[in-house]
């Protein structure tokens, strides 16, 4: 089997993955700011990194997956009124800040569960790590790379850039940065426009505030991730993930802070997922084109033709490589929904097939080879920078084979027993364990099952005496209730819920 290769945003190339500690992987992913409801755009990184987490685990690594909750609000707009995003909204909604934080954290967790994302190993909050952040800032000041002004602390980017590669991750050069950084009011405190805040003095009306050596205030945006990743993963860890939009300034600043504080580059492999776009535009608050996850699941949004289930969205996202933009449209979502249904039904068929007459030797060596190749290739695809799109394409190529065996167009003995075993094992491994898809069929209650079976029996009797009016009526009315009957080749009848 080939080695796992990961596209490292820092070096802009695919690199063979080698963990720092053999057998173990430390992975940090920037989590949500819980000042509002999660939207479709948030689904992308957490599903992407969930699959990465699952795959690394499958490869045998013991993974510590840390994903933070940003509950200490950043500046609404740096330089202007240093308002805390979370505390501002809390006033509007007449809620305690932490009440708001809890509400949206709960909602976020609920959405992640809907997507079948495995919960991270550690989910630290920014407010729970103020002490660590203050300690880190102190160290940076001691190192001479930060300065205090009026109760605020700023990172000295110019000084850092003189001896370090500030801008490498985001592909920026220092001179341009100085010129192109937008001129904002009240920036006088900073020595340089490119400097960023580590700690911000809190105005009296600012609700979220903590005592620090520099006065009462709150932490800057970037320091929380550095403090928490250092605490739980060490000064240097394997993987740091997040959306591409976080590359600058967030991740660039994280690198600078951690490097000064810990005297080592914090991250070995930077992984960035691309954005979900809507009409070619990134989904985001500033564009006013946000579809919240609750709206996706309910269909209750002007842009949505219908509701889309969490698994449809998961599948939709995994059909694209994580570094490509993914364009939202009803047409694309509906296509994903149908495709997933077909794939999932074939998967269930495969698990139920009990191939008879298969032996060690395949009846159709060519087909047997083809199946094996398509299955084993999936490992190669995942190893090539987590190419879930190609994995799914191979699975779809195998669907007609499953269905043909079911319909007896192809004898089960065409494939050898070992190939059948591999087939079943890989479909389960990839669909459920690695891609994290699951059945969305409602939990059937035994009574409903019994009633449907009864109707199927009555219909069968009606058909036997060619009373098609009755048999069609049963099929038609069940369909209106969302229960689809299928007459199988062998005369049996199966049903699915629409």
Partner RNA sequence: GGUUCGGUGGCCGAGUGGCUAGGCAGAGGUCUGCAAAACCUUUUACAGCGGUUCGAAUCCGCUCCGAACCUCCA
State which of positions 130-159 bind RNA (CB under 7 A): none
Complex with RNA: residue 141 or 177, whichever CB lies closer: 177
User: Of residues 154-183, which lie at the interface with RNA (CB under 7 A)?
Assistant: 170-172, 176-177, 180-182
Of 495, 489, 491, the closest CA to residue 474 belongs to 495
Minimum distance of RNA from residue 210's CB (angstroms): 19
Residues 3-22 interacting with RNA (rule: CB under 7 A): 12
| 77 to 116: interface string for RNA, x by CB under 7 A | xx------x-------------------------------
Closer residue to RNA (CB): 19 or 167: 167
Verify binding: residue 457, RNA, rule CB under 7 A: no
* CB nearer RNA, residue 19 or residue 195: 195
Q: Tell which positions 341-370 bind RNA, by CB under 7 A.
A: 342, 345-346
CB 263 to RNA: min, Å: 26
The dihedral through the CA atoms of 468, 471, 473, 478 has a sign that is negative
Of 435, 433, 431, 477, nearest to 452 by C-alpha is 477
Cα within 13 Å of Cα(497), Cβ side: 9
Among 98, 393, 478, 483, indicate the residue that binds RNA (CB under 7 A): 393
User: Comparing C-alpha atoms, which of 208, 49, 207, 183 is closest to residue 121?
Assistant: 49
Instruction: Give the H or E element holding residue 205.
Output: none
Contacting RNA (CB under 7 A), which of 54, 74, 88, 292? Answer: 74
Residue 19 vs 337, nearer CB to RNA:
337
Does 70 help bind RNA (rule: CB under 7 A)? yes
Selected binder of RNA within 332, 353, 367, 412 (CB under 7 A)? 332
Residue 442 is a binding residue for RNA (CB under 7 A): no
Min separation Cβ 188 and RNA, Å: 16
The token pair at 451 is 């009633």
389 binds RNA (CB under 7 A): yes
- The 400-439 contact track toward RNA, x by CB under 7 A, reads x--xx-xx-x------------------------------
**Could you tell me which of 224, 283, 293, 289 has the C-alpha nearest to residue 257?**
224
* Sites for RNA among residues 291-320 (CB under 7 A): 319-320
Strands 24-29 and 237-243: parallel
Q: CB-based contacts of 308: which residues, under 8 Å, 6+ apart?
A: 296, 297, 299, 316, 333, 337
Which CB, 98 or 483, lies closer to RNA? 483
DSSP string, 404-450: HHHTTSS-GGGS-HHHHHHHHHHHIIIIIIIS-----PPPPPHHHHH
Angle at CA 198, nearest 5°, toward 178 and 167? 35
Per-residue HEC secondary structure of 270-330 comes to EEEECCEEECCEECCHHHCCCCEHHHHHHCCCCCCCCCCCHHHHHHHHHCCCCCCCEEECH
Q: Which residues contact 483 (CB under 8 A, 6 or more apart)?
A: 452, 495, 496, 497, 498
Q: Is 497 in the site for RNA (CB under 7 A)?
A: no
Site mask, RNA, residues 26-65, x = CB under 7 A?
Answer: ----x-xx-------xx-xx--------------------
Q: Is 321 in the site for RNA (CB under 7 A)?
A: yes
């Amino acid at each position: 089997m080939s080695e796992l290769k990961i596209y490292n945003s820092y070096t802009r190339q695919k690199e063979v993955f080698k963990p720092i500690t053999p057998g173990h992987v430390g992975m940090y992913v920037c989590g949500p700011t819980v000042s509002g409801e999660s939207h479709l755009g948030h689904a992308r990184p957490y599903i992407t990194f969930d699959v990465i987490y699952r795959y690394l685990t499958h490869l045998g690594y013991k993974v510590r997956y840390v994903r933070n909750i940003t509950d200490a609000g950043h500046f609404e707009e740096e330089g202007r009124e240093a308002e805390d995003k979370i505390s501002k909204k809390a006033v509007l909604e007449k809620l305690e800040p932490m009440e708001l934080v809890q509400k949206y954290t709960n909602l976020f967790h609920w959405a992640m569960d809907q997507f079948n994302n495995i919960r991270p190993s550690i989910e630290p909050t920014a407010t729970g790590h103020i002490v660590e952040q203050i300690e880190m800032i102190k160290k940076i000041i001691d190192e001479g790379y930060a300065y205090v002004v009026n109760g605020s602390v700023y990172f000295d980017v110019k000084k850092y850039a003189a001896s370090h590669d500030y801008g490498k991750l985001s592909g920026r050069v220092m001179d341009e940065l100085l010129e192109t950084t937008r001129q904002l009011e009240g920036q006088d405190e900073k020595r340089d426009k490119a400097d960023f805040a580590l700690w911000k003095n809190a105005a009296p009306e600012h609700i979220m505030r903590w005592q620090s050596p520099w006065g009462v205030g709150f932490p800057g945006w970037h320091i929380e991730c550095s403090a928490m990743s250092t605490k739980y993963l060490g000064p240097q860890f394997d993987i740091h993930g997040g959306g591409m939009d976080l590359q600058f300034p967030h991740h660039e600043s994280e690198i600078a802070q951690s490097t000064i504080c810990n005297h080592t580059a914090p991250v070995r492999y930077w992984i960035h997922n691309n954005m979900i776009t809507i009409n070619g535009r990134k989904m985001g608050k500033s564009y006013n084109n946000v579809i919240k996850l609750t709206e996706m699941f309910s269909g209750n949004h002007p842009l949505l033709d219908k509701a889309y289930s969490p698994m449809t969205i998961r599948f939709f996202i995994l059909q694209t490589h994580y570094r490509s933009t993914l364009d939202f449209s009803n047409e694309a979502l509906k296509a994903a929904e149908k495709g997933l249904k077909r794939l999932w039904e074939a998967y269930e068929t495969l698990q139920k097939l009990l191939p008879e007459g298969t032996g060690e030797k395949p009846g159709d060596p060519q087909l047997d080879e083809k199946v094996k190749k398509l299955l084993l290739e999936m490992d190669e695809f995942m190893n090539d920078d987590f190419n879930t799109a190609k994995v799914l394409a191979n699975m779809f190529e195998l669907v007609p084979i499953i269905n043909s065996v079911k319909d007896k167009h192809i004898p089960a003995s065409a494939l050898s027993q070992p190939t059948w075993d591999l087939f079943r094992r890989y479909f389960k491994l990839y669909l459920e364990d690695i891609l994290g898809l699951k059945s969305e069929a409602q939990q059937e209650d035994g009574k409903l099952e019994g009633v449907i079976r009864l109707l199927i029996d009555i219909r069968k009797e009606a058909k036997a005496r060619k009373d098609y009016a009755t048999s069609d009526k049963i099929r038609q009315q069940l369909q209106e209730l969302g229960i689809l009957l299928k007459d199988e080749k062998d005369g049996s009848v199966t049903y699915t819920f629409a």
